[in-house]
Amino acid sequence: MPRLPESTDEEQGTFEDYRHRAWDGASGFVQSFIDFALRDNVLEVAVGLIFAASFTAVANSLVSDILLPLFSCLPGLTHNLDESFLVLQQSSHSKITPKPGQKKPYYNTVQQALDDGAIVWAYGNFIDKLLRFILISLALFTVSRIYNWLSSDNIVKRQIKCKYCRKYISDKAKRCVNCTSWLDGREEPSGQATNGTSET
């Protein structure tokens, strides 16, 4: 019976080299992924996104469940503000039968009017989104003011324009982060230096 040729030491060494290279490459890839995924800034961003999503839900609930119902009590506004609309043009092929005593079909919702082919002016949806934007902005500003009152670090930081590059920087900065110019006048000629000292 014929026998298979035995592998030489050189072939075994080549196979071992390939195996070690493959193992080193896989280990390096896994270690690189771990270093990337578990970096401090990545974890901080992940935690920040989780808190941001939770705070967004709370802010939306505050606006939808607490503030908007109070605004709906004002004259001219309804509880379903986003469903307030005007029909600008009726559909020529309306599928909705008008009620007794009416010549035109009556639509309960904006979607019903659009499905029937009517041209509508959905002003209520715009007002609803505008009120949500204003109220959420006020809620965020209130939270930032409370945080500033409880902490020494301000969320809303005051900014000024750099007198050299005219870009916004912190009002406490001593050097512009954009053009790297010193703001105390040390780079100006001695006659124009703001601190009255000459260059060294």
Q: What is the pLDDT of residues 16-63, one digit of tens each?
A: 777 777 787 788 787 777 777 666 567 777 777 888 888 888 878 877
Going from N- to C-terminal start, the domains of the chain cover: 28-77+135-153, 157-187
Contact at 8 Å (CB) between 107 and 96?
yes
The first and second tokens of residue 93, run together, are 């092929």
Q: Which uninterrupted H or E stretch holds 13?
A: helix 9-37
Distance of CA 113 to the CA centre of its chain: 33
The first and second tokens of residue 194, run together, are 């703001």
Is 50 exceeded by the pLDDT of residue 4?
Answer: no
**Average pLDDT for the chain:** 75
pTM above 0.85, yes or no: no
Contact at 8 Å (CB) between 181 and 162?
yes
CA distance 162 to 183: 8
Residues 141-151: b if buried by 16+ CB within 10 A, e if exposed? eeeeeeeeeee
What is the model's pLDDT at position 79?
62
- The confidence band for 111, taking pLDDT boundaries of 50, 70 and 90, is confident
Query: 148 φ, ψ to 5°?
Result: -65, -35
What is the model's pLDDT at position 187?
67
What is the model's pLDDT at position 156?
64
What is the model's pLDDT at position 56?
81
Over residues 168-182, mean pLDDT: 83
CA distance 131 to 67: 10
Contact at 8 Å (CB) between 175 and 181?
yes
Lowest average pLDDT, out of 25-39, 45-59, 158-172, 173-187, goes to 25-39
- What CA–CA distances, in Å, run from 24 to 33, 35, 37? 14, 16, 20
What is the model's pLDDT at position 196?
43
What is the model's pLDDT at position 6?
52
CA distance 180 to 167: 11
CA distance 143 to 9: 73
Residue type, 149: W
Task: Look up tokens 């512009």; give the residue.
Answer: 176
